């Protein structure tokens, strides 16, 4: 996936640039499905919205902010501050306090991090000492992603507004830090988010249906339901795709088990029984990649049945 980053320049022209981004047993199945259901959209940090109950702006670390933005499908305002450029930081703070902007921030996440200048160029400040290993990993990965999208340039702090998937964003140069531009970018991004929010709601219902079908051992129906998710064209970092992957993993385990049973029949020279079981598997697991392998198995078994040395089928 390649995000398009729109640079709002000091003049009338608009420049575009691109940067690469870094979806058993029955008792065990029920436990696994319950874990899927309970783990959906779990957050390690809460209350990360842009405006507190007291009306104060709240800034978050990259890992926190990007996770919250993606879960809630809110735009994220990014401030990568340079220690030598307090002017841009102060200007953004004033713009965000504008009443026409602040009323939009109830469904926006604020992200702030800092760069410092060293002999090796601009580098991130050290992470807080109280972060655990998981938090450090999340923050480091988020920093690397941001660095690829919007690098330090010209000794100025960077202000940008991105959609939750980091596919589209507007980077605002200091001269364009005005309330009207911030409002315009937030509204455009919110419209983008609203479209995916509707898709996520519909896709979530499909996943709920597929989960029940998996639980009831309706493998074919579950696979057809999961195939319906393809029409939504979610970006790879959509959380629902993780839930889909877990269901597919469970179905694949069932498919492998059924295929193993058929192969055991073939190894014991029960060729007719193996062929019949493979035909059942073909109907039970209608998934293109698996169907291809099962058809190859069926062809091999029937060649043994019909060819020299195949032996007499034994049920």
Provide mean pLDDT across the span 52-78.
88
User: What percent of the chain lies above the pLDDT cut of 70?
Assistant: 79
Find the helix or strand (DSSP H, E) in which 283 lies. Answer: helix 271-284
Write down the pLDDT at residue 173.
Answer: 87
Would you say the C-alpha torsion 84, 105, 53, 125 has a positive or negative sign? negative
Write down the pLDDT at residue 6.
Answer: 46
Burial of residue 250 (CB within 10 Å: 0-12, 13-18, 19+) is buried
Collapsed DSSP state (helix, strand, coil) of residue 126: coil
At residue 242, what are phi and psi to the nearest 5 degrees? -65, -40
Query: Which tokens belong to 70?
Result: 């993606």
* Contact between 7 and 17 (Cβ < 8 Å): yes
Higher pLDDT: 11 or 94? It is 94
Question: Measured between alpha carbons, how far is 187 from 170 in angstroms, rounded to an integer?
Answer: 12
Single pTM value for the model:
0.74
Contacts of range 88-96, beta carbons closer than 8 Å, 24 or more positions apart:
88/156, 88/157, 88/159, 88/174, 88/177, 89/157, 91/174, 91/177, 92/157, 92/159, 92/177, 93/57, 95/177, 95/178, 95/179, 95/182, 96/57, 96/182
Question: Measured between alpha carbons, how far is 241 from 243 in angstroms, rounded to an integer?
Answer: 5
At residue 268, what are phi and psi to the nearest 5 degrees? -85, 10
* Contact between 105 and 50 (Cβ < 8 Å): yes
Write down the pLDDT at residue 122.
Answer: 78
Mean pLDDT value across the chain: 83
Would you say the C-alpha torsion 40, 43, 46, 50 has a positive or negative sign? negative
Question: Whose structure tokens read 């499905």?
Answer: 33
Domains belonging to the chain, first-starting first, are: 4-22+42-197 (3.40.30.10), 199-306 (no CATH)
pLDDT in tens, 109-145: 999 999 887 787 778 889 999 999 999 999 999 999 8
Q: What is the DSSP letter of 151?
A: -
Provide mean pLDDT across the span 300-311.
81
pLDDT in tens, 20-39: 333 333 444 444 444 443 33
pLDDT in tens, 66-86: 999 999 999 999 999 988 888
Residue from 147, 196, 149 nearest 168 by CA = 149
Q: Give how far the C-alpha of residue 247 lies from the chain's centroid of Cα atoms, to the nearest Å.
A: 16
Residue 307: pLDDT band by 50, 70, 90 thresholds? confident
Q: Which of 25-29, 176-180, 247-251, 289-293 has the lowest mean pLDDT?
A: 25-29
**C-alpha neighbours within 13 Å on the C-beta side of residue 264:** 6
Collapsed DSSP state (helix, strand, coil) of residue 24: coil
* Contact between 239 and 41 (Cβ < 8 Å): yes
CA dihedral of residues 29, 203, 186, 68 (deg, nearest 10): -10
- How far is the CA of 205 from the CAs of 98, 201, 244, in angstroms? 39, 7, 12
Question: Measured between alpha carbons, how far is 286 from 259 in angstroms, rounded to an integer?
Answer: 14
Question: Measured between alpha carbons, how far is 134 from 138 in angstroms, rounded to an integer?
Answer: 6
């Amino acid at each position: 996936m390649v995000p398009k980053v729109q640079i709002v320049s000091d003049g009338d022209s608009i420049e575009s640039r691109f940067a690469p981004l870094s979806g058993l047993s029955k008792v065990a199945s029920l436990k696994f499905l319950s874990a899927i259901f309970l783990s959906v959209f779990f957050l390690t940090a809460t209350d990360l919205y842009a405006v507190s109950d007291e009306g104060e702006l709240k800034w978050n670390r990259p890992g926190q902010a990007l996770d919250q933005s993606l879960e809630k499908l809110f735009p994220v305002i990014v401030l990568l501050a340079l220690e030598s450029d307090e002017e841009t930081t102060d200007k953004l703070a004033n713009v965000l306090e504008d009443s026409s902007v602040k009323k939009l921030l109830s469904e926006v996440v604020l992200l702030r991090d800092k760069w410092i200048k060293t002999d090796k160029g601009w580098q991130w400040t050290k992470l807080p000492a109280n972060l655990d290993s998981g938090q450090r990993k999340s923050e480091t990965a988020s920093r690397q992603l941001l660095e690829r999208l919007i690098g330090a340039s010209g000794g100025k702090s960077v202000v940008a507004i991105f959609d939750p998937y980091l596919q589209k964003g507007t980077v605002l140069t200091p001269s364009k830090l005005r309330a009207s531009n911030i409002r315009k970018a937030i509204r455009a991004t919110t419209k983008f988010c609203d479209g995916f929010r509707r898709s996520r709601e519909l896709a979530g219902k499909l996943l709920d249906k597929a989960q029940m079908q998996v639980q009831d051992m309706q493998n074919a129906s579950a696979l057809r339901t999961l195939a319906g998710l393809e029409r939504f064209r979610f970006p790879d970092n959509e959380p629902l795709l993780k839930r889909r992957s877990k269901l597919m993993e469970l179905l694949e385990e069932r498919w492998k088990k059924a295929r193993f049973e058929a192969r055991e029949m073939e190894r014991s020279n029960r060729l007719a029984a193996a062929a019949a079981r493979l035909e059942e598997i073909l109907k039970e697991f209608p998934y293109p990649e698996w169907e291809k392998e099962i058809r190859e198995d069926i062809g091999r078994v029937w060649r043994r049945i019909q060819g020299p040395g195949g032996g007499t089928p034994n049920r």
